[in-house]
Amino acid sequence: MSKGFLPVSRKEMKEQGISQFDFVYIIGDAYVDHASFGHAIISRILEAHGYKVGIISQPDWKTPESISELGEPRLGFLVSAGNMDSMVNHYSVSKKRRDTDAFTPGGVMGKRPDYATVVYCNLIRRTYKKTPIIIGGIEASLRRLAHYDYWSNSVKRSVLLDAGADLLIYGMGERPIIEIADALNSGLDIKDITFIDGTVYKTNSLDSVYDAITLPTYNEVKTDKKTYAKSFYTQYCNTDPFVAKRLVEPYKEKMFVVQNPPAKPLSQSEMDHVYSLPYMRTYHPSYEEAGGIPAIKEVKFSLVSNRGCFGGCSFCALTFHQGRIIQTRSHESLLAEAEKIIWDSEFKGYIHDVGGPTANFRHMACEKQAEHGACPNKQCLFPKPCKNLKVDHKDYLELLRKLRALPNVKKVFIRSGIRFDYLIADRNDEFFYELCTHHISGQLKVAPEHIADNVLKYMGKPKNSVYEAFQKKYKKVNEQLDKKQYLVPYLMSSHPGSTIKEAVELAEYLRDLGYMPEQVQDFYPTPSTLSTCMYYTGYDPRTMEEVYTPKNPHEKAMQRALIQYRNPKNYELVKEALTIAGRTDLIGFDKNCLIRPRNMEKWNGERKGNYGEKPAKGKNINGKTVNKKATNGKAMNGKSVDKEGKTARKKKTIRNIHKKKK
C-alpha cells in the first residue's frame, strides 16, 4: 500500500515501480487525497484490495494524448466529473458562468468541460476502443436514467449511453467498485457484469433480467411531461437497497438501460475501514505553485460522522445518491482522525464541523430500517414525524463531549445542517443546551427554506409553526444561558408552488423578524430531485396534481428581490411585485410597509386611487397611463377600474401570466 500520493505521472509511476496500472482514474477535480473527495475513497479502497491505481486529473479534453499519459490500464478506466455535477460547478442558477472553481488549482475556472463525464469517456474511446470504462460520482449517479437537464432545457438520455461507457456506479461506490474489480480480474467480460447492486448497464436483451419494473420509453418521457413525472416517481420509490426493484428503461428496439437495486449500506466497521485508509489528507504537492486547492479549507479540520439522510427535502438529491438510511462511523474512528487533526501545524484549536448531510442524524430513523429498509411511499419527518421515528441525540452528544476533551481543542463547531424539526421533537433538552453552550459561534444556521405552508408542502419541509416553535425554544435556551446567539435561516425563492403572493408573505415575515439575508438561494433545478421534476413537468409526482412554478426570469428576480427588499438596488423589482400582488398597502411610511414611495406626487395619486377615489383623467387606480379604449372594465394589472377609467391593451406581461395561473 502506498505511503504517499498515488501516481499522477509517468515519473511517479516509475518511482513506485509500476509498469502498468490496473485502473486509470480520470477525474474532473484536482487530485486531493482526502476522504471528503470521492476519487480519494475509491482509489484508496481499490489500493487496499491490491489494485494499482493511477490518477489523471483534469486532462486537457482538447488533446487526445492527455488520456494516454499513464498508458492503457489492465482492467479499465474509471471516470468521474468530480465532487459536483460539472454544470452546477460551472453555472449559477441564472446560467451565468461562475468566476471560480474551488476544486481546481488556484480556484481557476475552465479546467474541465461541460458535461465532463460524457466528454472524458468519448475522449477515451477515440484511443481505446475496447478498454472497459466505468463511470461514477455525483454527475453520473444523478443522470443514470433519462433526466431533465436544466441547462439545455431538454430531457437527456441516460449518461451511460451518451458517454459510451460500459458500466455506471450510482450512489456510494465502495461495495460496487470492488465487486467490479474482482469480476474483471477473474476474467469476466465487462458486458457480462450485470449482477452487481448499485450499478447500471446497457443491454440488447432482457432475457436475464428478472424482478424488474419497466419504465416508460425514453421517447415517451421526452415527449410527455405527465409520463415523465410518473416515471420519475417510480424511480424515487425504488431508491432503498432492501425493497427496490430493478428498473428497465427502453430506448429503441433492442436497446435497454437496466438499473440494479442500490448497494447495501455500509456497516459501522466498514465505514470505519473506509476512513482509516492512508489518505495524505491534502492536495497533491504539484498544485502548490498554483496556490493549492481552495476546497480543502472547508474539510481539512472537519470530521464526517455519517452518511445518508431521512429528511427527504424535495429539492435535495440525497435520496437518489446516498439514500435515506443513516450510516455512521464509530466514536473510536472519529477520535482517531481527530488525533491527526489536532497535531497539524496549521490547526488553530477549532474543529470546524462534525456531521454529514444532516449533522444530528446518528442512527437509522427506526429499528425496522435495518431489516426492511425505508418506507418507499412515506417520509420519516414529513408532513410530521412518523410515530416510529427514533428521536435521540445521546450518541451524538457523547461524541461531541469526547472531541471537546481532546488536547489543543478550543471549540468544536457544527456547521453542516442541523435538522431543527428533529431537534425540537427530542423531549430531552440536554443536547439543545449543550449545542447552544459549546457548538455555536454566535450564529446557528438552519434551513426553514420558506414560511408559507403551501410552498413548504412542495418542499417536503415541516409547517412554519414548527420553525416558529424552534425559534422560541432557541431564544429561551440562550436567554437561560445568558448568551446572545442568533438564528440565520436559509431561505429559497422561486421554488415550485411559490407565487408572488407567497413571496410577499415571506418578505413580511422577514420584516417582522427584523432580518434581511445577505444571500438568497434561488431554486436551482439540478438533476434527479422531486423539485426539479415539478419545475419541468408542472406536476407534483407524489400526487400528480398540477403545481405552479415560476420560470420567467423577471418573476424569479422579483421573488428574490422581495427577500432582500431593504436593498435599494431591488426597489423597482419590489415595487412591481407588490403592485402585481395587489399589496401596494406595503408601499408607504407605516411601520409595516416594506418600501417607501420615491415620487410623492405620484404616490399620493396612487393612494387615493387605492382607497376608491376617482383617479386622474387618463390614469388607472395605480396611476398608470391607460389606453383611451376600455376593455371590459379592466386595467393593465387585471383589476377592475372606475367606470370613467380607461383600460390598457392586453399585453403578455407578468401580470397577465399571474392572473392566468391563479
* Distance, C-alpha 185 to centroid of its chain: 35
> Closest Cα to residue 85, out of 125, 63, 112?
112
The answer, yes or no, to whether residue 545 has pLDDT greater than 60, is yes
Give me the sign of the Cα torsion angle 425, 429, 433, 438.
Answer: negative
pLDDT of residue 424: 95
The answer, yes or no, to whether residue 647 has pLDDT greater than 50, is no
Q: How do 53-57 and 302-304 pair as beta strands?
A: unpaired
Backbone angles phi, psi at 372, to 5 degrees: -110, -5
The answer, yes or no, to whether residue 368 has pLDDT greater than 60, is yes
Confidence of residue 606 (pLDDT cuts 50, 70, 90): low
pLDDT of residue 184: 98
CATH code of 10-196, in short, is 3.40.50.280
B/e letters for 239-272, b = 16+ CB within 10 Å, e = fewer, are: bbbbebbbbbbbbeeeebbbbbbbbebbeeeebb
> What proportion of the chain, given as a percentage, has pLDDT over 70?
90
Mean of pLDDT values over 420-446: 95
Residue whose C-alpha cell is 497539524: 344
Q: How do 302-304 and 246-252 pair as beta strands?
A: unpaired
C-alpha distances out from residue 80 to 28, 40, 165, 347, Å: 6, 11, 12, 31
pLDDT of residue 417: 85
Long-range contacts of the stretch 503-506 (C-beta < 8 A, 24+):
503/558, 503/559, 503/562, 503/563, 503/577, 503/581, 504/562, 504/577, 504/578, 504/581, 504/583, 504/586, 505/451, 505/452, 506/450, 506/451, 506/452, 506/562, 506/563
The secondary structure of residue 279, as a DSSP letter, is: -
122, HSE (Cβ side, Cα atoms, 13 Å): 14
The answer, yes or no, to whether residue 362 has pLDDT greater than 50, is yes
| Tens-digit pLDDT profile for residues 233-242 | 999 999 999 9
pLDDT of residue 633: 39
Helix (H, G, I), strand (E, B) or coil at 310: coil
Confidence of residue 628 (pLDDT cuts 50, 70, 90): very low
Mean of pLDDT values over 526-542: 97
| Tens-digit pLDDT profile for residues 210-229 | 999 999 999 999 999 999 99
Mean of pLDDT values over 304-326: 93
Q: How do 147-149 and 154-156 pair as beta strands?
A: antiparallel
Using an 8 Å Cβ cutoff, are 66 and 60 in contact?
yes
The answer, yes or no, to whether residue 604 has pLDDT greater than 80, is no
Using an 8 Å Cβ cutoff, are 369 and 427 in contact?
no
**For domain 442-574, which architecture applies?**
2-Layer Sandwich (3.30)
| Tens-digit pLDDT profile for residues 499-518 | 999 999 999 999 998 888 88
Residue whose C-alpha cell is 437495486: 261
| Tens-digit pLDDT profile for residues 4-50 | 999 999 999 999 999 999 999 999 999 999 999 999 999 999 999 99
The answer, yes or no, to whether residue 641 has pLDDT greater than 50, is no
pLDDT of residue 254: 86
pLDDT of residue 370: 85
Mean of pLDDT values over 559-575: 96
pLDDT of residue 658: 52
| Tens-digit pLDDT profile for residues 111-148 | 999 999 999 999 999 999 999 999 999 999 999 999 99
> Closest Cα to residue 478, out of 429, 523, 415?
429
C-alpha cell at 494: 422561486
Mean of pLDDT values over 377-382: 90
pLDDT of residue 625: 41
Q: Which of 92-106, 237-251, 564-578, 642-656 has the lowest mean pLDDT?
A: 642-656
Domain residue ranges of the chain, discontinuous segments joined by + = 10-196, 301-414, 442-574, 599-662
pLDDT of residue 376: 85
pLDDT averaged over every residue in the chain: 90
C-alpha distances out from residue 203 to 125, 165, 167, 214, 254, Å: 19, 12, 11, 14, 8
> What proportion of the chain, given as a percentage, has pLDDT over 90?
84
The H or E element containing residue 571 is: helix 571-580
As a whole number of angstroms, the distance between CA 26 and CA 374 comes to 34
Using an 8 Å Cβ cutoff, are 338 and 403 in contact?
yes
pLDDT of residue 401: 98
As a whole number of angstroms, the distance between CA 268 and CA 644 comes to 76
As a whole number of angstroms, the distance between CA 93 and CA 81 comes to 19
CATH code of 301-414, in short, is 3.30.750
183 or 517: which leads in pLDDT: 183
As a whole number of angstroms, the distance between CA 126 and CA 147 comes to 26
In the chain, what's the furthest Cα-to-Cα distance? 92
Same fold? 10-196, 442-574: no
Give me the sign of the Cα torsion angle 146, 149, 155, 157.
Answer: negative
501: burial class by Cβ within 10 Å (0-12, 13-18, 19+)? middle
Mean of pLDDT values over 589-597: 94
| Tens-digit pLDDT profile for residues 258-273 | 999 999 999 999 999 9
Size of the chain, expressed as the number of residues it contains:
662
Residues contacting 210, CB < 8 A, separation 6+: 246
| Tens-digit pLDDT profile for residues 51-94 | 999 999 999 999 999 999 999 999 999 999 999 999 999 999 99
Mean of pLDDT values over 431-460: 95
Residues contacting 278, CB < 8 A, separation 6+: 1, 2, 3, 44
Give me the sign of the Cα torsion angle 62, 64, 69, 75.
Answer: positive
As a whole number of angstroms, the distance between CA 49 and CA 47 comes to 5
Task: Examine residue 383 and say whether the peptide bond preceding it is cis (omega within 30 degrees of 0).
Answer: yes
pLDDT of residue 2: 64
Residues contacting 217, CB < 8 A, separation 6+: 249, 250, 251
pLDDT of residue 207: 92
